[in-house]
Amino acid sequence: MAKRSGFLARMESAKERSNKETLFFTRQNMCDIALLVLHEEFGFGPERLMRFCKAISKKYGDFADLWNGDTKDVEYSKAVLDRALKQICGKYFIPWDERYTM
């Protein structure tokens, strides 16, 4: 087995740290904006907003575990999410590939 370069290991560590920071920022930013919308459009007060924040963090963690678990099967993860969204969104459901197309 070839010896790993210290520089390469530091670069990989920095990239992993950057990815985690980006993921944390994106998740928190999404939650902040959702809280504003829930308050402004739907009249949620402090208690319901905190309930929402805890619930979305848990649900996000559940899916993060699914995406990063033992299988790391992205297609399965997408199917689980799409199946749940299709059930609750009905005719307004948009499949993954359309929702995630820029």
Using an 8 Å Cβ cutoff, are 56 and 35 in contact? no
* pLDDT reading at 34 higher than 70: yes
Cβ contact 59:30 at 8 Å: no
32 has a pLDDT exceeding 80: yes
Tell me the one-letter amino acid at 9.
Answer: A
Q: Give 62-76 pLDDT, tens digit per residue.
A: 888 877 766 667 788
pTM above 0.75, yes or no: no
Distance between CA atoms of residues 77 and 55, nearest Å? 19
- Rounded Cα distance, 102 and 17, in Å: 25
Contact 13, 21 (CB under 8 A): no
Q: pLDDT tens for residues 3-23?
A: 678 888 888 889 888 888 888
Q: Of the candidates 59, 63, 61, which has an alpha carbon nearest to the alpha carbon of residue 51? A: 59
